[in-house]
Amino acid sequence: MQKPRKFYPPKKEKRPDLEYIFGIRAVMEAITAGKDFEKIFIKKDLKGELVSELKDLLGNTSIPVQKVPIEKLNRITQKNHQGVIGWASPVQYQNISDIIPTLFENGKEPLIVVLDGITDVRNFGAIARTADGAGVDAILVSSKNSAAITPDAVKTSAGALLSIPVCRTPDLVRAVKELKNSGLKVVAASEKTSDNYTTASLTGPLALVMGAEDVGVSDEILEITDQLLSIPMLGKIGSLNVSVAAGILLYEVVRQQTL
């Protein structure tokens, strides 16, 4: 009699764990040493001289700060966190104001992707992967209401998030205005226009803005864009996934710039 085959469940894929730094002084020392963070969690109503020093230090960075109840901190760790936990980033965020002049000095016409309200980490990773393939020079995000660079985001990007410069700013509208003042044409994907993306001129220094899937690009940024772009939808679905839309538009840029 043939023995029944043993069933071996598939092995779970190992993922890198999120890195946290615990304690007020430890977080301060990490920031001073140049370590970047996705977010700093601070216990609500936490006070003290050292806490004031930490807040002053954070005021000179673009690191998002979230005040949370003690229960959230305790769920992250049972270690002595002193009311402060830093979620360390796997990348070093860069300053877009430093990148643009360097690109021009090197004879390169900048191609920047601006993500306005993209909070899904997989969409973030997928856009980064396409951006890398399309030769994008940097990705610009807001320090508020933006996806973090998590292991899932890095995996979806096929590692692109670890190589392509990611810039974070506390004021995305102001940063986009600075891109315009630096000579970049700012175009945005939007359903609020009938202009087909294939009819637009997408050569030269360019910033492409992609908005959140639910609300799109914010009105504040739409007001300062040079042109809105739409992708024709011929079926019953009214819009594309934002990472797919970004891929279509980026490779139209590639097509036009390599003619």
Summarised one tens digit per residue, pLDDT across range 14-57 is 334 579 999 999 999 999 999 999 999 999 999 999 999 999 99
The reply to whether 248 falls in a domain is yes
Residues paired with 43 in a beta bridge? 68
CB under 8 Å to 33, separation ≥6 — which residues?
none
Q: Phi-psi bin for 30: left (phi > 0), alpha (psi -120 to 50), beta?
A: alpha
Q: Name the band, by pLDDT with cuts 50, 70 and 90, for residue 12.
A: very low
Last residue of a domain, one of 55, 88, 121: 88
What average pLDDT does range 225-248 have in this prediction? 92
The pLDDT assigned to 14 comes to 39
Q: For residue 33, what is the domain's CATH number? A: 3.30.1330.30
The pLDDT assigned to 156 comes to 96
Residues 76 and 121 in one domain: no
Residues 251 and 162 in one domain: yes
Q: For residue 190, what is the domain's CATH number? A: 3.40.1280.10
104-108, 143-147, 174-178: the lowest-pLDDT one: 143-147
Distance CA 56, CA 29 (A): 13
The reply to whether 15 falls in a domain is no
The reply to whether 14 falls in a domain is no
Which amino acid makes up residue 86? G
The reply to whether 124 falls in a domain is yes
Last residue of a domain, one of 88, 114, 142: 88
The reply to whether 207 falls in a domain is yes
Q: Is the pTM of this model over 0.85?
A: yes
Phi/psi of residue 138, each to 5°?
-165, 155
Averaged pLDDT score across all residues of the chain: 91
Q: Which domain holds residue 158?
A: 96-257
Last residue of a domain, one of 39, 71, 88: 88
Counting the structural domains of the chain, the total is 2
Q: In the chain, pLDDT over 90 holds for what percent of residues?
A: 81
Residues 173 and 62 in one domain: no
The reply to whether 3 falls in a domain is no
Write the secondary structure of 116-157 as one string of H (helix), E (strand) and C (coil).
ECCCCHHHHHHHHHHHHHCCCCEEEEECCCCCCCCHHHHHHC
What average pLDDT does range 192-210 have in this prediction? 94
Distance CA 202, CA 208 (A): 9
The pLDDT assigned to 191 comes to 86
